[in-house]
């Protein structure tokens, strides 16, 4: 990937080689990501880096803004299908079940926190692959949860926003205590 592009591209170019996971408090996690229009080598490189970071940090999914890139791209691996990996571009949830389930979720961008999050049990996602081919996929259970989590990231939302007020208070208290423990 070239780093010698127009200035509007610098954020992407700088962020990818570093590939640090951005954590709570970083404003990029609150940004609405931009739709991808160029299905080029740059996009493939971004997806490749995201896959590497996801595996390195033992995540099941990763959104581009978690490594500081404000593009609507997510990667994930399916624990129900031999860890098969996917890179999805411009994903949108077009249908979701009324049935919801609550499970404990963690997030690479909120390290050390695990909280109960209620999500639709089943969703239909429309997206594109790295070549721009449209896909429509129905997901149930854990894969549906992963997709909802990552698409939330792409819209600037975090699990804290989905947790109940009590859960959020508990987790924020834990995070403050962790931070104090690190300082002392
Ligand atoms: Zn996350």
pLDDT at 180: 82
pLDDT at 4: 32
pLDDT at 94: 98
What CATH number is given for 11-183 in this structure? 3.90.45.10
Helices (H) and strands (E) in the chain, counts: 5, 7
pLDDT at 5: 35
pLDDT at 148: 98
The pair of three-digit structure tokens given for residue 170, joined into one six-digit string: 């508990």
Catalytic residue among 105, 122, 150, 167: 150
pLDDT at 21: 95
Distance (Å) from CA 183 to ligand 1 centroid: 25
Closest CA to 167 of 77, 82, 96, 104: 104
Residue 45 neighbours by CB under 8 Å, 6+ apart: 1, 16
Q: Apex CA 32: angle with CA 96 and CA 59, to 5°?
A: 70
Domains of the chain by residue range: 11-183
The pair of three-digit structure tokens given for residue 48, joined into one six-digit string: 């490749």
Distance (Å) from CA 178 to ligand 1 centroid: 19
Enumerate long-range contacts of 165-171, CB under 8 Å, 24 or more apart: 167/115, 167/116, 168/115, 170/115, 171/110, 171/113, 171/115
Per-state percent for the chain, helix, strand, coil, to nearest 5: 40, 30, 35
Catalytic annotation present for 150: yes
pLDDT at 18: 53
By the 8 A CB rule, do 56 and 82 touch? no
Distance (Å) from CA 50 to ligand 1 centroid: 13
Residue 174 buriedness (CB in 10 A; 0-12 / 13-18 / 19+): middle
By the 8 A CB rule, do 139 and 123 touch? yes
Distance (Å) from CA 4 to ligand 1 centroid: 30
H helical segments located in the chain: 10-18, 41-56, 142-154, 159-162, 165-183
Give residue-wise pLDDT tens across range 26-57. 999 999 999 999 999 999 999 999 999 999 99
pLDDT at 80: 83
Distance (Å) from CA 1 to ligand 1 centroid: 26
Kindly report the pTM of this predicted structure.
Answer: 0.87
As averages over each run of 10 residues, the pLDDT of the chain (184 residues) reads 33 56 96 98 96 94 97 94 94 98 95 93 98 98 97 97 92 88 72
Distance (Å) from CA 107 to ligand 1 centroid: 4
**What distance in Å separates the CA atoms of residue 103 and residue 149, rounded to the nearest whole number?**
12
């Amino acid at each position: 990937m070239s780093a010698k592009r127009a200035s509007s591209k610098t954020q992407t170019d700088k962020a990818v080689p570093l590939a640090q996971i951005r954590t709570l408090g970083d404003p990029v996690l609150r940004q609405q990501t931009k739709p991808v229009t160029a299905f080029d080598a740059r996009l493939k490189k971004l997806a490749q880096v995201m896959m590497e970071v996801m595996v390195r940090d033992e995540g099941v999914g990763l959104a581009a803004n978690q490594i500081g890139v404000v593009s609507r791209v997510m990667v994930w691996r399916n624990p129900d299908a031999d860890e098969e990996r996917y890179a999805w571009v411009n994903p949108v949830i077009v249908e979701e079940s009324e049935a919801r389930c609550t499970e404990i979720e963690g997030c690479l961008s909120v390290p050390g926190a695990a909280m109960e999050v209620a999500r639709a049990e089943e969703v239909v996602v429309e997206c594109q692959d790295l070549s721009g081919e449209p896909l429509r996929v129905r997901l149930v259970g854990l894969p549906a949860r992963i997709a909802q989590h990552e698409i939330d990231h792409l819209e600037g939302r975090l699990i804290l926003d989905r947790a109940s007020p009590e859960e959020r208070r508990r987790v924020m208290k834990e995070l403050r205590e962790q931070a104090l423990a690190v300082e002392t």
